């Protein structure tokens, strides 16, 4: 089984690439979904978050108010670091558990040949160590800000603060085996993904019965 660590900063279009990889036959682990699950009501992580940041980060149902949490941590590096220290180890452990489960299924002939770990914070969490390849989706800064303001209703200043809160794109690119430039249109992006997929299959599955 080949594990692709797919990453890219906010607004890069990483989800488009992940969907195409699933269309091509890959199984995917969505780190955003895992991140939501580890802070569900009743979890130790949510309890620790509420204890540190106060009950105002919870909504009326006792769930994490993500908008309120974002308003606290974006632009406050110390608050962001504290939140990450609570959640990142749990997210990493859960994703690694799911990777190992897929590997076991693969050995039994029922698992995926290619597994994509779709994670914006792949490098920050240290999950690149669990991947055979790291794929990075990159984008021009102006296009990134444009997409964030249109998609999330942010002001350009808010978008830039969220971009600045992540590991710089140039740092992520240092880990990349394959790079997808998503600054153009969707068709151009899909063509890049398809080319990388074909090359990856050729390199890793040559001489086998396929994936």
Predicted confidence at residue 82, as pLDDT, reads 96
Helix axes 77-107, 66-73, angle to 10 degrees: 120
- The size of the chain, in residues, is 211
Euclidean distance between CA atoms 29 and 34, whole angstroms: 8
Predicted confidence at residue 210, as pLDDT, reads 54
In-domain check, residue 171: yes
- What burial class does residue 172 get, using C-beta atoms within 10 Å of its C-beta: 0-12 exposed, 13-18 middle, 19+ buried? buried
Predicted confidence at residue 50, as pLDDT, reads 97
In-domain check, residue 17: yes
Predicted confidence at residue 188, as pLDDT, reads 96
Q: Output the pTM of the full model.
A: 0.90
Predicted confidence at residue 19, as pLDDT, reads 96
- Return the exposure string of 179-207: e unless at least 16 CB atoms fall within 10 Å of the residue's CB, then b: bbebeeeeeebbebbeebbeebbeeeeee
CATH number at residue 166: 3.40.50.300
Quote the number of domains for the chain.
1
Using CA atoms, how far residue 98 sits from 13, 150, 175, 176, in Å, is: 24, 34, 22, 23
Euclidean distance between CA atoms 116 and 191, whole angstroms: 18
Q: What is the CA 190 to chain-centroid distance, rounded?
A: 18
In-domain check, residue 175: yes
Report which of 82, 194, 177, 72 is spatially closest to residue 134, judged by C-alpha positions: 177
What 3-state DSSP class applies to 138?
strand
What 8-state DSSP symbol labels residue 154?
Answer: -
In-domain check, residue 84: no
Predicted confidence at residue 161, as pLDDT, reads 87
In-domain check, residue 135: yes
Report which of 131, 115, 155 is spatially closest to residue 26, judged by C-alpha positions: 115
Predicted confidence at residue 208, as pLDDT, reads 58
In-domain check, residue 48: no
**pLDDT one digit per residue (tens) for the chain, 211 residues:** 999 999 999 999 999 999 999 999 999 999 999 999 999 999 999 999 999 999 999 999 999 999 999 989 987 899 999 999 999 999 999 999 999 999 999 888 777 799 999 999 999 999 999 999 999 999 999 999 999 999 988 899 989 988 988 899 999 999 999 999 999 999 999 999 999 999 999 999 875 555 5
| Residue-number span of the structural domain to which 93 is assigned | 2-36+89-204
């Amino acid at each position: 089984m080949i594990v692709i660590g797919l990453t890219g900063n906010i607004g890069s279009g990483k989800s488009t690439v992940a969907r195409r990889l699933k269309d091509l036959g890959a199984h995917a682990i969505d780190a955003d979904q895992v991140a939501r699950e580890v802070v569900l009501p009743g979890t130790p992580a949510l309890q620790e978050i509420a204890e540190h940041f106060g009950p105002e980060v919870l909504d009326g149902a006792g769930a994490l108010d993500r908008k309120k949490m974002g308003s606290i941590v974006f632009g406050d590096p110390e608050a962001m670091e504290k939140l990450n220290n609570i959640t990142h180890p749990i997210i990493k452990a859960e994703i690694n558990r799911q990777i190992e489960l897929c590997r076991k299924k693969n050995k039994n002939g029922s698992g995926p040949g290619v597994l994509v770990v779709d994670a914006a914070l792949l490098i920050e969490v240290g999950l690149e160590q669990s991947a055979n390849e790291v794929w990075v989706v990159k984008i021009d800064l102006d296009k990134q800000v444009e997409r964030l303001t249109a998609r999330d209703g942010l002001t350009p200043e808010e978008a830039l603060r969220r971009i600045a809160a992540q590991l710089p794109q140039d740092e992520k690119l240092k880990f990349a085996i394959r790079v997808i430039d998503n600054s153009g249109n969707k068709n151009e992006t899909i063509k890049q993904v398809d080319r990388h997929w074909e090359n990856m299959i050729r390199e890793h599955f040559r001489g086998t019965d396929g994936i």
